[in-house]
Amino acid sequence: MPTENLCARVEELSGENVFACYQCGMCSAGCPLTEEMDRLPSQVIRDLQLDDPELLESNAMWVCASCLACEVRCPKGVDLAKLMEALRQIVLRRALDNVSLDDMKREDIRSLPQIALVASLRKKTG
Amino acid sequence: MNGIPYFPGCSLKDSARGFESSALFVMETLGLPLVELERWNCCGTVYSLTEDDLMHHLASVRNLIRTREAGGDELVALCSMCYNTLARVAARVDADAEAREKINAFMDEEPDYEGGVQIVHLLHVLRDRIGPDAIAEATTRPLDGLSVATYYGCTLVRPKSVSVDDSENPTAMGDVLDATGATIVDFPFATECCGTYQVVDRPDLSLERSYRVLHSAARAGAHVVATACPLCQHNLEQARDRFAESDGIGALTVAYFTELLAAALGADPPPEGLGPMLEIHVTAEGGA
């Protein structure tokens, strides 16, 4: 996946200043999902600052559930959930979906509240 | 208009019917009935977090237009996810004239939306307009003896700009339920994520998060975990059944906060699933 100027593209999509982050780690400390991620939330920002070409291969943005625990606690006012969404969008806008209902059993789909399905498809398909 | 316009959203018409029926009963009983918004549509469920993605705000804006058409300037939401999405979209189009113009231009068939509709959560109405005193006065089946862990989750309290209360230490749900005689227990996972929509393709992940919430509530001595979101409710119920054998979790009831209120305000029979639990914890300890 070509990742030229990834940081600039993420800043444009998110409206956030990636370089406001001074790596205090508060986001990673409060994130309820870090143990499912191959990079910590604070590492995602660091890797953005460094324009790491591998970042789009990380699972962190797909595990992030936009719970905003990081957003309300960041001492620098960086909205990390917006950065994660921008990363997802860069992939999804290349028509690379991350979830498919075809992989799911019909009875599982029926048992879920509508907001679960709509939210999942909004977050993980283009 | 007689009553307050409210937005049910998709889940309240299907998996979360008990949330809607109990809320309607509560507000009718308290003399401020909810009136369903005409021709409402799905809010979009999640707020788009990229600057250029205006298209996904359309669904919410249409509901704001319907509110104006009904002659109102506020809309009450019950589901936390609807509340969050509608409130964030309303704030975005109020503050960003350029975005509003683009959205209006795209929706040829709709009257232009000029902004100004306020999105209100039912908790605001109950706590700030009706107030705990009036709720206490209307209580005919006091919930004395019942310990409640009030679970807020994410979208009711984050981001701060739309939070119904303090983001880290909210008390709105407790303030309202305390008036019924219930005991509100302090538990550290009140605003931790339940795993949300990850349940669709990563149920392992949502079960683990919901387990932590329930474990924390059980340790705090709760009989009931009160929710305000059909997805939290679903995930917590799944985890309760899956981990029923663990640390008292199986004994927990998960219920919408409006269902507990309806029980206290005399709904007869009490909302589905609450009867036996009230029998054990309330009547036995001399409440009702």
* Confidence (pTM): 0.96
Peptide bond before residue B276 is cis, with ω within 30 degrees of 0: no
CA B193 to chain CA centroid, Å, is: 15
Instruction: Give the residue with greater pLDDT, A88 vs A2.
Output: A88
Segment A65-86 shows an average pLDDT of 98
Interface residue B57 vs chain A (CB under 8 A): no
- Asked if residue B1 has pLDDT above 60, the reply is no
Contacts of B196 in chain A (CB under 8 A): 65-67, 116, 119
Both A115 and A79 in one domain: the answer is no
pLDDT at B14: 93
Q: Is residue A13 part of a domain?
A: yes
- Asked if residue A1 has pLDDT above 70, the reply is no
Task: Write down the H helix ranges in chain A.
Answer: 6-14, 26-30, 41-49, 60-63, 69-73, 80-92, 106-111, 114-124
- For chain B, what is the mean pLDDT? 95
Both A52 and A72 in one domain: the answer is yes
Q: Is residue A75 part of a domain?
A: yes
- CATH number of the domain that residue A77 is part of: 1.10.1060.10
Both A87 and A125 in one domain: the answer is no
Q: Do A115 and B9 touch (CB under 8 A)?
A: yes
pLDDT tens digits, A43-60: 999 999 999 989 999 999
Q: How far apart are CA B7 and CA B38, in angstroms?
A: 9
- For chain A, what is the mean pLDDT? 95
Of A87-91, A107-111, B28-32, B182-186, the one with minimum mean pLDDT is A107-111
Range of the structural domain that residue A53 is part of: 6-94
Report ipTM for this prediction. Answer: 0.95
Residue A48: CA count within 13 A, CB half-sphere: 28
Both A112 and A60 in one domain: the answer is no
Both A50 and A80 in one domain: the answer is yes
Q: Do B81 and A66 touch (CB under 8 A)?
A: no
Task: Write down the H helix ranges in B74-130.
Answer: 80-95, 97-106, 122-124
Both A59 and A121 in one domain: the answer is no
pLDDT at B284: 53
pLDDT at B97: 97
Both A19 and A81 in one domain: the answer is yes
How many distinct structural domains can be found in chain A? 2
Q: Is residue A71 part of a domain?
A: yes
Both A59 and A16 in one domain: the answer is yes
CA B143 to chain CA centroid, Å, is: 20
Segment B215-228 shows an average pLDDT of 97
Report phi then psi at B36, rounded to 5: -65, 130
Q: What domains does chain B contain, in order, with CATH numbers? A: 4-121 (1.20.1050.140), 131-285 (3.40.50)
Q: Do A72 and B44 touch (CB under 8 A)?
A: no
